[in-house]
């Protein structure tokens, strides 16, 4: 049997009774779009996260886009983010009409470097820079207290990209509760995953939440009357019901992820590769266990021959990808990270013997 980097089917089987009951409940309800399941999930997720409200949308990419639009970001504006993220982050920013400005990462955590952000803002003094999207990558949050201070000084909107941060914390406070709004993805491989696409916009500003709620459905506040130019981006009843069934397990799933990460950290100590670094005052939810080595491709190929499949999140920095290529821009820390990162298998369905096998084969490769 192959050891998989993620296993959505195992996650389904772990909650099969609850998920099957939720699906039947929706099928028999006769209500399939923006009904009681979505409303209930929005309440339950808000309570779990610690915010005033949640707006369910079709996916995490839409969540970033609509959150930025709700906050007033549009054509002619500029938005700062990192280049070692999934292109979905950039797709969402571009969809608002805004231009992306990249900032370097902290080489230890591979997260947005807040000091670099402040230096860049001071150097550019560009009034068109209106927002920043901190990406909470791999399950660890950016230094949000410091980032919020910088954003306040420069009058920037903060929309958190929490696609990989369900349960990540800073000083005991959840990622997704710091910025004006936060965007979550419920793609099946996430810490909280649906059985299809899904996303959410979260926050505590009632005005911004109302705007986001209108934007997800044609700009309606009253049915069939578009007060703004919205679009169709709705979390459906089926996925909302599945997420409701899985939400009570999230803490236990994250705890299992943490236990697996602890085994890796202990078992791989001393290997000639860089292990993940958890910054002070951060609570890691271990969406990924990312190691770094200049021999990444060799190690990945070796492990694959041993039926251990790994991920690479992400192999090419955004500004080096064909669709967004910028020959004038150099981000050496981001580019080096993309050339070296490797995600070892990590999901709640992974057994201790599986983890031991991964550790043994990684050590064998370097031996």
Instruction: Give the Cα-Cα-Cα angle 322, 323, 329 (nearest 5 degrees).
Output: 70
Per DSSP bridges, beta strands 169-170 and 282-283 are antiparallel
303 in Cβ contact with 362 (< 8 Å): yes
pTM of this structure: 0.97
For the segment 6-32, the average pLDDT, to the nearest whole number, is 97
- Provide the mean pLDDT of the chain: 97
> Tokens in use for 209?
């939440």
Over residues 315-363, the pLDDT tens digits come to: 999 999 999 999 999 999 999 999 999 999 999 999 999 999 999 999 9
In a domain, 154, yes or no: yes
**Three-state DSSP state, 105:** strand
For the segment 6-34, the average pLDDT, to the nearest whole number, is 97
Q: Give the integer Cα–Cα distance in Å for 279 and 270.
A: 20
Same-domain status, 154 and 187: yes
Confidence band for 151, pLDDT divided at 50, 70 and 90: very high
Q: How far is CA 278 from the centre of its chain?
A: 17
Over residues 225-260, the pLDDT tens digits come to: 999 999 999 999 999 999 999 999 999 999 999 999
In a domain, 2, yes or no: no
Confidence band for 93, pLDDT divided at 50, 70 and 90: very high
Strand residue runs (E) in the chain: 53-57, 78-81, 99-102, 129-132, 157-161, 169-170, 173-174, 181-185, 199-203, 220-222, 225-226, 282-283, 289-292, 341-344
Of 248, 270, 299, which closes a domain?
248
Q: Return the pLDDT at 351.
A: 97
Over residues 131-147, the pLDDT tens digits come to: 999 999 999 999 999 99
In a domain, 290, yes or no: yes
Same-domain status, 212 and 357: no
Q: Give the integer Cα–Cα distance in Å for 359 and 90.
A: 35
Q: Return the pLDDT at 246.
A: 98
Number of domains in the chain: 2
Same-domain status, 34 and 67: yes
How many percent of the chain have pLDDT more than 70? Answer: 100
More confident residue, 129 or 1: 129
How many percent of the chain have pLDDT more than 90? Answer: 99
Of 182, 213, 248, which closes a domain?
248
Same-domain status, 160 and 276: no
231 vs 84, 204, 227, 235, 239, CA distance in Å? Answer: 29, 23, 12, 13, 19
| Domain, as residue range, for 362 | 250-366
Of 248, 266, 290, which closes a domain?
248
Confidence band for 173, pLDDT divided at 50, 70 and 90: very high
In a domain, 1, yes or no: no
Confidence band for 103, pLDDT divided at 50, 70 and 90: very high
Same-domain status, 196 and 301: no
Confidence band for 195, pLDDT divided at 50, 70 and 90: very high
Confidence band for 365, pLDDT divided at 50, 70 and 90: very high
**Three-state DSSP state, 182:** strand
Same-domain status, 217 and 273: no
Q: Return the pLDDT at 184.
A: 98
Q: Return the pLDDT at 109.
A: 98
In a domain, 3, yes or no: no
In a domain, 92, yes or no: yes
Same-domain status, 204 and 293: no
SS3 content of the chain, % helix, strand, coil (to 5): 45, 15, 40
Same-domain status, 274 and 326: yes
Same-domain status, 314 and 170: no
For the segment 115-131, the average pLDDT, to the nearest whole number, is 98
Q: Give the integer Cα–Cα distance in Å for 226 and 174.
A: 34
Q: Return the pLDDT at 292.
A: 98
Same-domain status, 233 and 259: no
Same-domain status, 225 and 263: no
54 in Cβ contact with 45 (< 8 Å): yes
Task: Please report, for the domain that includes residue 74, its CATH number.
Answer: 3.40.640.10
Same-domain status, 115 and 263: no
Q: Return the pLDDT at 276.
A: 98
């Amino acid at each position: 049997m192959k050891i998989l980097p993620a296993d959505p089917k195992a996650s389904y089987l772990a909650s099969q009774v609850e998920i099957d009951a939720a699906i039947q409940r929706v099928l028999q309800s006769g209500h399939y779009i923006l009904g009681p399941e979505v409303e209930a999930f929005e309440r339950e997720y808000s309570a779990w996260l610690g915010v005033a409200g949640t707006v369910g949308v079709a996916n995490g990419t839409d969540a970033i886009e609509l959150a930025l639009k709700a906050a007033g970001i549009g054509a002619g504006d500029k938005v700062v983010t990192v280049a070692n993220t999934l292109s979905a982050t950039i797709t969402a920013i571009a969809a608002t009409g805004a231009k992306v400005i990249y900032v370097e990462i902290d080489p230890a955590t591979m997260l947005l470097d807040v000091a670099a952000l402040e230096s860049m803002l001071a150097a550019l003094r560009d009034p068109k820079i209106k927002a920043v999207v901190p990406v909470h990558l791999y399950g660890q949050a950016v230094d949000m207290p410091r980032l919020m201070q910088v954003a306040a000084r420069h009058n920037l909107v903060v929309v958190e990209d929490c696609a990989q941060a369900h349960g990540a914390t800073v000083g005991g406070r959840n990622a997704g509760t710091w910025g004006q709004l936060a965007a979550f993805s419920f793609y099946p491989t996430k810490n909280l995953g649906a059985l299809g696409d899904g996303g959410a916009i979260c926050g505590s500003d009632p005005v911004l939440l109302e705007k986001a709620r209108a934007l997800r459905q044609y700009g309606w506040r009253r049915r069939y009357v578009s007060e703004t130019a919205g679009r169709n981006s709705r979390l459906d009843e089926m996925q909302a019901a599945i997420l409701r069934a899985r939400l009570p397990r999230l803490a236990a799933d994250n705890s299992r992820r943490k236990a697996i990460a602890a085994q890796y950290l202990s078992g791989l100590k001393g290997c000639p590769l860089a292990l993940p670094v958890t910054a002070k005052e951060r609570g890691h939810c271990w969406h990924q266990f990312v190691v770094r080595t200049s021999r990444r491709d060799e190690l990945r190929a070796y492990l694959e021959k041993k039926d251990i499949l790994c991920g690479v999140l992400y192999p090419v920095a955004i500004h080096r990808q064909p669709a967004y290529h910028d020959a004038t821009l150099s981000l050496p820390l981001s580019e080096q990270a993309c050339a070296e990162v490797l995600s070892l298998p990590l999901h709640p369905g992974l057994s201790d013997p599986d983890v031991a096998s991964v550790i043994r084969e990684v050590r064998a490769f370097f031996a």
